[in-house]
């Protein structure tokens, strides 16, 4: 049995995690200074220290584990299990949600699995096209799907029990949301 903690049901996702990710990124970027070495030019190319503006616009998702479009259910469950195991290792009891200021959230933030970038409406300008293509593809395989609130969904949860549901879901995701879609 999995030790999965549903992130939405337990209120783990949202602004708090985004702020935490941004703060950690900022700390990591600011700690990449010269390390006390001299500034003498020895004719060796070096990377310039990022400006304050560059630090502020750094991708807060950098370094996070990310689910891939072609990941099957077992792959996705392994990623979630790694995150919940990390929380447990840092003192969060199994099945319990960590508090928003929990040190475990900070310690495990990079293990929190993010959705595929192609399925993130904020990062994919073609997301709504992908949603419509996904619904069309799933319906084409006899899995009744609908567009709901700008996302795709199943007309009935019973569809998940249809033969080859997982295979068709992955096939349709890749076809609908990839750049080649």
pLDDT in tens, 142-162: 999 999 888 999 988 888 888
Residue 95 has pLDDT above 50, yes or no: yes
What's the pLDDT score for residue 169? 93
Q: Taking the model in full, what pTM does it have? A: 0.58
Report the pLDDT averaged over residues 110-131. Answer: 92
Percent over 90 (pLDDT), the chain: 47
- Categorize the per-residue pLDDT at 58 as very low, low, confident or very high, splitting at 50, 70 and 90: low
| Banded model confidence at residue 3, pLDDT cuts 50, 70, 90 | very low
Contact 42, 75 (CB under 8 A): no
52 pLDDT higher than 50: no
Report the mean per-residue pLDDT for the chain: 75
Phi, psi for residue 178 in degrees, rounded to 5: -75, 165
Which two structure tokens, joined as six digits, stand for 112?
Answer: 């929190």
**Residue 113 vs residue 5, higher pLDDT:** 113
Here the tokens at position 160 are: 């998940």
- The per-residue DSSP string of 66-132 comes to B--TT--HHHHHHHHHHHHHHHHHTTPPTT-PPPTT-HHHHHHGGGSPBPPGGG-TTT-TTHHHHHH
- Whether the per-residue pLDDT at 117 is higher than 80: the answer is yes
What number is the average pLDDT over the span 17-42? 40
- In the chain, what percentage of residues exceed pLDDT 70? 65
Between CA 154 and CA 148 the distance in angstroms is: 9
Residue-level pLDDT at 158 = 85
Give the burial class of 149: count Cβ atoms within 10 A of its Cβ; 0-12 exposed, 13-18 middle, 19 or more buried. exposed
Measured between alpha carbons, how far is 89 from 19 in angstroms, rounded to an integer?
23
Q: What is the rounded CA–CA span in Å between residue 24 and residue 134?
A: 35
């Amino acid at each position: 049995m999995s030790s999965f903690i549903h992130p939405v049901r337990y209120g783990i996702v949202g602004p708090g995690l985004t702020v935490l990710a941004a703060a950690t990124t900022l700390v990591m970027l600011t700690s990449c200074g010269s390390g006390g070495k001299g500034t003498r030019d020895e004719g060796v190319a070096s990377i310039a220290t990022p400006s304050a503006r560059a630090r502020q616009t750094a991708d807060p998702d950098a370094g996070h584990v990310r689910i891939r479009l072609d990941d099957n259910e077992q792959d996705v469950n392994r990623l979630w299990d790694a995150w919940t195991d990390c929380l447990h290792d840092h003192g969060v009891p199994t099945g319990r949600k960590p508090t928003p200021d929990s040190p475990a959230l900070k310690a495990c933030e990079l293990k929190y699995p993010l959705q595929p970038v192609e399925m993130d409406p904020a990062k994919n300008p073609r997301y709504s096209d992908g949603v419509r293509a996904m619904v069309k593809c799933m319906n084409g395989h006899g899995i009744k799907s609908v567009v709901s609130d700008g996302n795709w969904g199943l007309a009935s949860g019973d569809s998940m029990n249809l033969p080859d549901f997982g295979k068709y879901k992955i096939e349709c995701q890749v076809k609908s949301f990839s750049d080649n879609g």
